[in-house]
Amino acid sequence: MILVTGGTGLVGSHLLKQLIQGEESIRAIYRDEKSLNKIKHFFILFNISWSDVLKKVEWVQSDLLNPAVLEDAFIGIDHVYHCAAMVSFNKRDKKQMLKVNIEGTSNVVNLSLDYNVKKLCHVSSTAAIGDTTNGDLRTEKNDWQNDGTFSKYSISKYFAEMEVWRGSEEGLDVVIVNPSIIIGAGDWNSSSSNLFLKVWNGLRFYTLGVNGFVYINDVVKAMTELMNSDIKNERYLVIAENLTFQTLFNYISEYLNKPYPSVLVRKWMTNVLCKVEAIKSFLFKSNPLVTKESADSAMRITKYSNQKIKKDLQFEFTPIKIAVKETADLFLKDNTD
């Protein structure tokens, strides 16, 4: 039996969409009724009935931070996909994010060991990949060192990986995937899916920052192929292309039939905006639209290599323009019908 943590998130939902096509039974963890309603809507978007999902997936409400409760989800489990994580660049969420991403992963690793799980796939992030000193492509071999420039999210994902490697040293077979910014349909109000909503609502600003991007279908395909292979105790960057944010926003604008963002964001502009948003957040107890960490990420030029997974799995990635078009089509279906 397969266990999927974070079954209602972007990666978890698309993973389940693929897994239900197979023969193996599946158990998926969800947090609350609100998240369960979102996943129901997700399957409807792909013309999959909820009754068909329930025939293949056993849904269990659980808590990664409560091992006594979480333990029940591991009974009879052979393979675990650990997709659950908290993503935030808000200082207010720092403590909880570190707890969920590190302690939650530790609990998953410990229970996987206790219940003799055959293999664990951990969904990490490029945020846990170390920097280069000369501007070369970042690879899986780059050592992560906290020099004060990494976000709290980056710190949480790095130490979550350390828990997974600890599990491997204690006898658990593991694989880790480090996807970049994921393009795919999900909750349009959160995660990277929100980029489509921002453009739809008239995004005017862009940066010349560079980052890696990948289609959600490729992330899920990489995960399942690694789990079904003999590969163990390895991690893989899952990157299709390194693009400027301007290029990505232009792709989204094209397929949503919206004007291209036209205002180039300068460094001084982000500094002013971050201060304004910080004051608003403090006064009104709201989440800032932009934080220093998110602004720095959008301005930074960061490029990654995908050669390891292409070599080991003979893996071919979907071009990002195609990924954007297919996701934009789903966005329009979901928001204009």
Write out pLDDT tens, residues 67-111.
999 999 999 999 999 999 988 777 778 899 999 999 999 999 999
What would the DSSP string read from start to end of 7-33? TTSHHHHHHHHHHTTSSS-EEEEE-SH
- Is 41 inside a domain boundary? yes
Give 142-149's long-range contacts (Cβ < 8 A, gap of 24+).
149/296
pLDDT exceeds cutoff 80 at 148: no
Strand locations in the chain (E): 2-5, 26-30, 57-61, 79-82, 119-123, 174-179, 181-183, 205-206, 210-215, 234-238, 241-244, 263-264
β-strand partners of 61: 30
Write out pLDDT tens, residues 33-55.
888 999 999 999 999 999 999 99
How much is the pLDDT for 266?
Answer: 75
- Is 276 inside a domain boundary? no
pLDDT exceeds cutoff 70 at 262: yes
Confidence of residue 57 (pLDDT cuts 50, 70, 90): very high
3-state secondary structure at position 63: coil
- Is 277 inside a domain boundary? no
pTM equals 0.92
Q: What integer is the mean pLDDT of 179-190?
A: 93
- Is 296 inside a domain boundary? no
Other Cβ atoms less than 10 A from the Cβ of 145: the count is: 11
3-state secondary structure at position 69: helix
Confidence of residue 151 (pLDDT cuts 50, 70, 90): confident
- Is 284 inside a domain boundary? no
pLDDT exceeds cutoff 90 at 149: no
Number of domains, the chain: 1
Residues in the chain, overall count: 337
- Is 298 inside a domain boundary? no
Give the CATH number of the domain where residue 165 resides. 3.40.50.720
Angle at 120 between CA 115 and CA 126, to 5 degrees: 145
Confidence of residue 135 (pLDDT cuts 50, 70, 90): confident
Residues above pLDDT 90, as percent of the chain:
74
pLDDT exceeds cutoff 90 at 152: no
Angle at 89 between CA 84 and CA 90, to 5 degrees: 110
Write out pLDDT tens, residues 232-241.
999 999 999 9
**Which residues span the domain enclosing 96?**
2-183+211-240+303-318
Confidence of residue 275 (pLDDT cuts 50, 70, 90): low
Q: Distance from CA of residue 24 to its chain's centroid?
A: 24
- Is 260 inside a domain boundary? no
For residues 145 and 105, the answer to whether their CB atoms sit within 8 Å is no
More confident residue, 23 or 291: 23
pLDDT exceeds cutoff 60 at 277: no
Rounded to an integer, what distance in angstroms lies between the CA atom of residue 255 and that of residue 210?
21
Residues 6+ apart with CB under 8 A from 195: 248, 249, 252
pLDDT exceeds cutoff 70 at 245: yes
Write out pLDDT tens, residues 281-318.
555 555 555 556 566 667 788 999 999 999 999 999 99
Round the average pLDDT of the chain to a whole number and report it. Answer: 90
How much is the pLDDT for 70?
Answer: 95
- Is 192 inside a domain boundary? no
- Distances in Å between the alpha carbon of 113 and those of 30, 78, 102, 142? 22, 11, 17, 28
